[in-house]
Amino acid sequence: MKVSDLLGRKGARVSTIHPEKSLRSAMGVMIDEKIGALPVVCKDGGLVGIITERDIFRFLYHDIDAFGKKVVADIMTQELIVGIPEDDIEYIAEVMTKNRFRHVPIVEKEYLKGILSIGDIVKARTEDTKATNRYLMEYISGGPSLGIF
Protein backbone atom coordinates (compact mmCIF):
# COMPACT_ATOMS: atom_id res chain seq x y z
CA MET A 1 0.00 0.00 0.00
CA LYS A 2 1.20 3.50 -0.82
CA VAL A 3 1.49 6.34 1.71
CA SER A 4 -0.96 8.38 -0.41
CA ASP A 5 -3.64 5.66 0.02
CA LEU A 6 -3.20 5.65 3.77
CA LEU A 7 -3.29 9.46 4.00
CA GLY A 8 -6.47 9.39 1.90
CA ARG A 9 -8.08 7.02 4.43
CA LYS A 10 -6.96 9.13 7.39
CA GLY A 11 -8.32 12.37 5.94
CA ALA A 12 -6.53 15.57 4.97
CA ARG A 13 -6.46 17.23 8.40
CA VAL A 14 -3.07 17.38 10.16
CA SER A 15 -2.40 19.14 13.47
CA THR A 16 0.74 21.27 13.53
CA ILE A 17 2.38 23.79 15.85
CA HIS A 18 4.35 27.01 15.34
CA PRO A 19 8.00 26.97 16.56
CA GLU A 20 7.47 29.93 18.92
CA LYS A 21 4.56 28.34 20.81
CA SER A 22 5.16 27.31 24.41
CA LEU A 23 5.84 23.71 25.42
CA ARG A 24 2.66 23.84 27.45
CA SER A 25 0.59 24.66 24.37
CA ALA A 26 2.26 21.80 22.43
CA MET A 27 1.34 19.46 25.27
CA GLY A 28 -2.20 20.81 25.28
CA VAL A 29 -2.68 20.13 21.55
CA MET A 30 -1.29 16.58 21.88
CA ILE A 31 -3.55 15.86 24.86
CA ASP A 32 -6.68 17.36 23.25
CA GLU A 33 -6.10 15.62 19.91
CA LYS A 34 -4.94 12.34 21.50
CA ILE A 35 -1.76 12.32 19.40
CA GLY A 36 1.89 11.84 20.27
CA ALA A 37 3.64 14.20 17.85
CA LEU A 38 3.28 17.53 16.10
CA PRO A 39 5.06 18.62 12.92
CA VAL A 40 6.47 22.12 13.54
CA VAL A 41 5.43 24.51 10.78
CA CYS A 42 6.25 28.22 10.23
CA LYS A 43 3.76 30.87 9.11
CA ASP A 44 4.84 30.40 5.46
CA GLY A 45 3.90 26.70 5.71
CA GLY A 46 7.51 25.45 5.77
CA LEU A 47 8.17 22.32 7.85
CA VAL A 48 11.02 23.05 10.29
CA GLY A 49 10.90 20.16 12.77
CA ILE A 50 8.93 17.72 14.87
CA ILE A 51 8.11 17.65 18.56
CA THR A 52 6.87 14.47 20.21
CA GLU A 53 5.75 13.53 23.70
CA ARG A 54 9.14 11.87 24.14
CA ASP A 55 10.95 15.22 23.63
CA ILE A 56 8.78 16.84 26.31
CA PHE A 57 9.18 13.89 28.67
CA ARG A 58 12.99 14.00 28.27
CA PHE A 59 13.05 17.77 28.79
CA LEU A 60 10.97 17.55 31.96
CA TYR A 61 13.28 14.91 33.39
CA HIS A 62 16.40 17.05 32.83
CA ASP A 63 15.14 20.59 33.47
CA ILE A 64 11.62 20.72 34.87
CA ASP A 65 12.15 24.22 36.37
CA ALA A 66 12.69 25.75 32.90
CA PHE A 67 9.48 24.29 31.49
CA GLY A 68 7.56 27.59 31.52
CA LYS A 69 10.35 29.49 29.74
CA LYS A 70 10.87 27.19 26.75
CA VAL A 71 9.23 27.18 23.35
CA VAL A 72 8.79 24.40 20.81
CA ALA A 73 11.84 25.51 18.77
CA ASP A 74 14.08 24.99 21.83
CA ILE A 75 13.53 21.24 22.02
CA MET A 76 12.13 20.09 18.65
CA THR A 77 14.10 17.75 16.39
CA GLN A 78 15.25 19.70 13.34
CA GLU A 79 16.97 17.01 11.32
CA LEU A 80 13.88 15.38 9.96
CA ILE A 81 13.47 12.12 8.15
CA VAL A 82 10.43 12.41 5.93
CA GLY A 83 8.47 10.33 3.45
CA ILE A 84 6.70 11.17 0.21
CA PRO A 85 3.19 10.14 -0.94
CA GLU A 86 4.66 7.67 -3.46
CA ASP A 87 6.50 5.69 -0.74
CA ASP A 88 5.31 2.24 0.21
CA ILE A 89 4.11 1.96 3.82
CA GLU A 90 6.48 -0.98 4.37
CA TYR A 91 9.36 1.40 3.60
CA ILE A 92 7.99 3.89 6.18
CA ALA A 93 7.73 1.05 8.74
CA GLU A 94 11.38 0.16 8.07
CA VAL A 95 12.45 3.80 8.51
CA MET A 96 10.65 3.92 11.88
CA THR A 97 12.20 0.67 13.08
CA LYS A 98 15.70 1.56 11.92
CA ASN A 99 15.65 5.06 13.47
CA ARG A 100 13.69 4.12 16.60
CA PHE A 101 10.99 6.74 16.23
CA ARG A 102 7.25 6.38 15.73
CA HIS A 103 6.34 9.27 13.43
CA VAL A 104 7.17 10.21 9.85
CA PRO A 105 5.95 13.47 8.29
CA ILE A 106 4.96 13.14 4.65
CA VAL A 107 5.98 15.99 2.36
CA GLU A 108 5.49 17.07 -1.20
CA LYS A 109 7.72 19.84 -2.59
CA GLU A 110 8.88 20.70 0.97
CA TYR A 111 5.30 21.22 2.19
CA LEU A 112 3.64 19.02 4.76
CA LYS A 113 0.98 16.67 3.39
CA GLY A 114 0.40 14.61 6.54
CA ILE A 115 2.05 12.49 9.19
CA LEU A 116 2.07 8.74 9.72
CA SER A 117 2.43 7.15 13.12
CA ILE A 118 3.38 3.58 13.93
CA GLY A 119 -0.28 3.14 14.97
CA ASP A 120 -1.45 4.08 11.45
CA ILE A 121 0.90 1.50 9.96
CA VAL A 122 -0.25 -1.27 12.34
CA LYS A 123 -3.91 -0.44 11.59
CA ALA A 124 -3.34 -0.53 7.82
CA ARG A 125 -1.49 -3.86 8.06
CA THR A 126 -4.29 -5.36 10.18
CA GLU A 127 -6.93 -4.25 7.68
CA ASP A 128 -4.87 -5.70 4.81
CA THR A 129 -4.48 -9.02 6.63
CA LYS A 130 -8.25 -9.16 7.30
CA ALA A 131 -9.01 -8.50 3.61
CA THR A 132 -6.53 -11.21 2.51
CA ASN A 133 -8.00 -13.72 5.00
CA ARG A 134 -11.48 -12.99 3.75
CA TYR A 135 -10.40 -13.47 0.15
CA LEU A 136 -8.67 -16.77 1.00
CA MET A 137 -11.72 -18.04 2.92
CA GLU A 138 -13.95 -17.25 -0.05
CA TYR A 139 -11.49 -18.96 -2.37
CA ILE A 140 -11.30 -22.10 -0.18
CA SER A 141 -15.07 -22.34 0.35
CA GLY A 142 -15.82 -21.63 -3.32
CA GLY A 143 -18.03 -18.59 -2.70
CA PRO A 144 -18.42 -15.28 -0.86
CA SER A 145 -17.98 -15.64 2.90
CA LEU A 146 -20.78 -14.66 5.30
CA GLY A 147 -18.44 -12.42 7.26
CA ILE A 148 -17.77 -14.95 10.02
CA PHE A 149 -14.31 -13.74 11.06
59 binds ligand AMP (CB under 6 A): no
Whether the Cβ atoms of residue 53 and residue 30 lie closer than 8 Å to each other: yes
Indicate which single residue of 29, 77, 123, 125 sits in contact with ligand AMP (rule: CB under 6 A). 77
Q: How far is CA 87 from CA 7, 74, 94, in A?
A: 12, 31, 11
User: What distance in Å separates the CA atoms of residue 50 and residue 78, rounded to the nearest whole number?
Assistant: 7
Q: Which is nearer to ligand AMP, 90 or 138 (CB)?
A: 90
Phi then psi for residue 47, to 5 deg, are -85, 120
Indicate which single residue of 21, 54, 125, 134 sits in contact with ligand AMP (rule: CB under 6 A). 54
37 binds ligand AMP (CB under 6 A): yes
Three-state DSSP at 64 gives: helix
Q: Which of residues 87-146 bind ligand AMP (CB under 6 A)?
A: 101-105
Of 50-58, 61-69, 130-138, 141-149, the segment contacting ligand AMP by CB under 6 A is 50-58
One-letter identity of residue 57: F
Residues of this chain that bind ligand AMP (CB under 6 A): 36-37, 50, 52, 54-55, 77, 80-81, 101-105
